[in-house]
Amino acid sequence: MEQILTALDALQLKSPRMITIPPEATLAEAIEKMIEYNIGAILVKEGDEIIGIWTERDHLRNTLMPGYDPKTNRIGDSMQTVLHSAPADTSIMALQDIFLGLFIRHIMIVDEGKYIGLLSIGDVIRAALLQKDREIKELHQMASWEYYENWGWDRKHRSKKKEQE
């Protein structure tokens, strides 16, 4: 069987590059960047450190806040600062459990103490489906029609041989 896919494998299936924006950027600037890269979440980076995440859902929630103006509000004031993370060698199945258990949609991937990428639940589901597809193809090769056609060959020929005796 193929090896179990990990968070690192899932990152390599997509662009592992992290799209970031500084905390002083406006929400409108963040939205423009998210549209440009076709992403649903953007990381907030100050210097060399990721300090938060801002998502489409945050934008939706913020629209009902008094004084909400994407052209003037700063992303640093609206971002989420709790960043959930998992090691790069975490299996895809374990990542699914994390997403479901914590009711989150994004998780940072860590390798050697540094963030190396961001995975969404969609990225992980895609990797899980690709893993299942590979497993099915391997099983299909192991148990091909030829295998089934010849499965009882020895039994059939033994019984014919006994009849002839």
What's the confidence (pLDDT) of residue 145? Answer: 65
Does pLDDT of 45 surpass 90? yes
Does pLDDT of 1 surpass 50? no
Does pLDDT of 57 surpass 50? yes
User: CB–CB of 75/28 below 8 Å?
Assistant: no
Please compute the mean of the pLDDT values over residues 65-90 and round it to a whole number: 95
Query: Which among 122, 140, 144 has a CA at the least distance from the CA of 132?
Result: 140
Chain-wide mean pLDDT for the chain? 88
pTM: 0.79
**Burial category of 21 from C-beta neighbours within 10 Å (exposed 0-12, middle 13-18, buried 19 and up):** buried
Element (H, E) at 153: helix 153-164
What's the confidence (pLDDT) of residue 13? Answer: 86
Query: Which among 93, 95, 91, 59 has a CA at the least distance from the CA of 78?
Result: 59
Q: Which residues contact 128 (CB under 8 A, 6 or more apart)?
A: 5, 92, 93, 96
User: CB–CB of 39/18 below 8 Å?
Assistant: no
